[in-house]
Amino acid sequence: MQLYLMGLWETVRDFIGTGGDVLYLVFAALLIMWICLVERYWFLLSVFPKERERIIENWKARKDTTSWYAHRIREAWISEASEKLTARMLLLKTMIAICPLIGLLGTVTGMIAVFEIMAVQGTGNPRLMAGGISMATIPTMAGMVAALSGMFFVQRLDARVRRARAQLIDSMPHH
């Protein structure tokens, strides 16, 4: 197991060495995105059902559910629940949008490295140029893969949030 982990670490270190320091930024954005994703799924699947039941019980316990005042209370409870449901969704979508941009930053820095090598060495050293070109392409690929890894789950999460909100609204009739 330890040998496997050491080999894995070597592979990651080689990948970062080939792609440049911008990959650390891609990894940081990816980490933030996945921590938020896991937290949101946890909230939606384990915390919100209890919150939903509490709100519905409070609504059913009210004697007055038809007056203007009761409707405002209902709207306020739905609004508070909606805010809790959609918390950090903007951050998640922003992280998905930022990952490819960070990759493009890596492309620009890699191409600058290629041009520096060409200015100093000329075009006669293809090995040095290849290193700069891989430093230019790997961050772009990593940024795209990072964004794609979260895109599917964020879309599913967004749909679940909308469904949970709609179910809450349906569970609180306002005669």
Q: What is the pLDDT of residue 3?
A: 83
Range of the domain at 114: 25-170
Q: Is residue 9 domain-resident?
A: no
Model confidence, pTM = 0.80
Query: Is 103 part of a structural domain of the chain?
Result: yes
- The answer as to whether 49 is a domain residue is yes
> Are 160 and 86 contacting, i.e. CB atoms less than 8 angstroms apart?
no
Tokens representing residue 32 in the block:
């933030």
Question: For residue range 14-67, what is the model confidence (pLDDT) as tens digits?
Answer: 777 777 788 899 999 999 999 999 999 999 999 999 999 999 999 999 888 889
Residue 70 forms part of a structural domain: yes
Structural domains counted in the chain: 1
Judge whether 54 lies within some domain. Answer: yes
Q: Each residue of 62-75: pLDDT tens digit?
A: 888 889 999 999 99
On whether the CB atoms of residues 59 and 172 are closer than 8 A, the answer is yes
Domain annotation covers residue 57: yes
Would 19 be classed as within a structural domain? no
1-20: per-residue pLDDT in tens?
A: 778 878 877 877 777 777 77
Who's near 30: CB < 8 A, 6+ residues apart? 95, 99, 146, 149, 150
And the tokens for 61? 């316990």
**CA quadruple 102, 107, 108, 109: dihedral positive or negative?**
positive
In this structure, is residue 83 part of a structural domain?
yes
